[in-house]
Structure 1
């Protein structure tokens, strides 16, 4: 579950950061006139998005959970959860790749690990019966 919460924070942080920077770039090019107060708000939004991005990437699981609870108080956050789903699937793919044994292991060691996993699974099944 923490992986999905991380993807939620990363997506929200990226959207806020990109929106704030985009507003500043449009103001600098003259296509948008937001004034000095709007510039301050755009910088604040971009900084908040960057903080969310870094908390999502590097924060502890407890901190990530607190920040997600704080940022998902509105019903509209379900839309962002749907937007964050592809990032979650990509992160889950990389997480499963880390759990695979390295290619440099001899085949006998890999088979031994598989046998251990099968034995543990059989013990769990016997306990539940």
Structure 2
């Protein structure tokens, strides 16, 4: 989980979650960014390759939005209204690993970010 609070400084927090016997980890534990920074990269790992699907969500103002999803290694899509390769980029180099890169940070990026994994889309 990543917590964005923007008062010209962006703070990111990550926690480990356990679900159905698998572990999902996000990192770094803490990252401080400023509006206008070139980018920040969030990392996610889970320990069960049968959880084939991975997702990134953003929660802001009590509203949860899916940003990106991956249906397999090397594949990813972004949910509208977000734009692929412009502001958000997901990578999936392995079935158990994913990254979300947020480029050209803005105050509007202030949110809580979650990584999730599933056996079904």
User: Which category of TM-score, normalised to the shorter sequence, fits these structures?
Assistant: under 0.3
Larger radius of gyration: 1
More helix by share: 1
The alignment's TM-score, normalised by the length of structure 1, stands at 0.23
More strand by share: 2
